Amino acid sequence: GENVEQHPSTLSVQEGDSAVIKCTYSDSASNYFPWYKQELGKRPQLIIDIRSNVGEKKDQRIAVTLNKTAKHFSLHITETQPEDSAVYFCAATNSGYALNFGKGTSLLVTP
Amino acid sequence: KAGVTQTPRYLIKTRGQQVTLSCSPISGHRSVSWYQQTPGQGLQFLFEYFSETQRNKGNFPGRFSGRQFSNSRSEMNVSTLELGDSALYLCASSSTSGGNEQFFGPGTRLTVL
């Protein structure tokens, strides 16, 4: 089955800096790659996603890049703010609805 | 539209018992997926239901089962509970027309003593 690895497991940045989280996947048939943000005690929420026919997608301060050849994808957050502090999960799937998640990255943005 | 709801929110059981968790998807969503979240293993896919049929299944033992009703509401059942089943159980619903976005419920926190 699909195996998704996520790095780093923890990340601390200063407010205003950029943060990058990287994921690799094993199943070359995977075609949908969402990123979820989970604040403490809350449910995961989708922040951005990308499909295998696109190499990059941007939404304000958040961008995701996908390299299908290398089987990795990354989340980029620019101009980080304290409210970006949360756990971020990447996921991959070839079936649309059965998400295989990475282990998560705990992001801390310090003022 | 109301979001995904799950009941109960918290549950305490003892080893060997069984438990049933319920999930009501967003109105109009026909796909419901279930995930187990633990500090050690993260988020793991259990199964997905669409139109009352299990469409995908993760790598969990047969003690974990589920079903979906005609109104798209879903239940999952865990029999013969073990200490390791203590976790946050999340369900997520998706509209099958257009994107794959899954909307998560608040989860049911299960503690097995």
**Which residues of B make CB contacts under 8 Å with A?**
31, 33, 35, 41-45, 48, 50, 55-56, 58-59, 90, 94, 99-107
Average confidence score pLDDT of chain B: 94
Q: Distance (Å) from the C-alpha of residue A53 to the closest C-alpha of chain B?
A: 14
Best A10, A97, A100 residue to mutate vs chain B (most B CBs within 10 Å)? A97
Share of chain A above pLDDT 70, in %: 100
| Contact flag A97-B105 (C-beta cutoff 8 Å) | no
How close A90 gets to chain B, by Cα (Å)? Answer: 10
pLDDT of residue A97: 85
Q: Alpha-carbon Rg of chain A, whole angstroms?
A: 13
Contact criterion met (CB < 8 Å) for A46 and B105: no
Size of interface A-B (CB pairs under 8 A): 61
CA-nearest residue to A47 within chain B is B101
Predicted confidence at residue A26, as pLDDT, reads 96
| B3-36 residue pLDDT tens | 999 999 999 999 999 999 999 999 999 999 999 9
Tokens of B73: 């509401």
